[in-house]
Amino acid sequence: MTTKGEQFAGVTVALVTPFRNGEIDYDELRRLVDWHIEQGTDCLAPVGTTGESPTLDHEEHERVIAAVVERAAGRIKTMPGTGSNSTREAIRLTRFAKKVGATGALMVGPYYNKPTQEGYYRHFAAVAEAVDLPLVLYNIPGRTASNILPETIARLAALPQIVAIKEATGSLDQVSQIASLCNLTLLSGDDSLTLPIMSVGGRGVVSVVGNIVPRDLKALVKAYLEGRTEEALRWHRKLFPLCRDLLGVATNPIPIKCAMKLLGRGTGELRLPMCALDESGEKRIRQTLQAYGLL
């Protein structure tokens, strides 16, 4: 079966939003875009969960999208987060992404208001109808408090604009069911599950640890896609402790921002209600980076 959205296969990095003294550091943001182009990252997803979108105001959200797309200048694909729990707001943000030239948009399921499955369908269908831009669904019940079921995802897959899904339920059964019901490009939403998800039909990952090791993640994904499964497994085993600690010590993006700070890349600053790790948490991240060979 040919998959829709094959342009989003590979490694997309869920980009952090760098802050300095409480404000977005746009110079650092542009440096990050350049670095990912040098590293060979396939696509960037700014203003997602990792980009602390819940604490950016609407103007900042748009400015980050515009800054990343402008700096990318066609050298790397862009898939900004434009989801919302308000359909009107999701349409507005997605229209903005289209206007500034994004490759596609990453659309999280509406959070907090917990729509029915029919509500999910109508929400995404409304955005797809309103904006001529490839849409990548993002299913993360741990954040939204509600699961978009495989049958609903299959209904949405019939819409031309909806081309892929970032699956972060942590359930291989759900991924397998989606793969059996439709031809969306399946992307892992959990770094540690990239290889397992690829083994049941996934085509890549939207990654957090890619903020520091995009080349290694790309090596894993490329090896698997090219049939070198033993090599992919070796990369999985090398990356697994890094993925586990950078996503398990505290809520994302607290650990990855700590790691980037320790690697001399940005201030590590977060916006409340996110706050920095305590001394023992930072020590664990330092040890993880040392064990991986990054420090």
pLDDT tens column, 197-254: 999 999 999 999 999 999 999 999 999 999 999 999 999 999 999 999 888 999 999 9
Provide the residue ranges of all domains of the chain, joining segments of one domain with +.
6-227
Looking at 166, 218, 222, 257, which residue is catalytic? 166
pLDDT tens column, 154-189: 999 999 999 999 999 999 999 999 999 999 999 999
Domain spanning 6-227: which CATH class is it, in words? alpha beta
Confidence of residue 3 (pLDDT cuts 50, 70, 90): confident
Confidence of residue 1 (pLDDT cuts 50, 70, 90): low
**114 among known catalytic residues:** no
Looking at 121, 138, 224, 292, which residue is catalytic? 138
pLDDT tens column, 72-104: 999 999 999 999 999 999 999 999 999 999 999
Is residue 167 a contact partner of residue 188, using CB atoms and an 8 Å limit?
A: yes
Q: What's the pTM?
A: 0.97
Cα separation, 113 vs 94, whole angstroms: 20
**224 among known catalytic residues:** no
For residue 198, what are its two tokens? 């690829």
Tell me the Ramachandran region of residue 102: left when phi exceeds 0, alpha when psi lies from -120 to 50, beta otherwise: beta
DSSP letters spanning 129-163: HH--S-EEEEE-HHHHSS---HHHHHHHHTSTTEE
What angle do helix axes 117-130 and 150-157 make, rounded to 10 degrees? Answer: 20
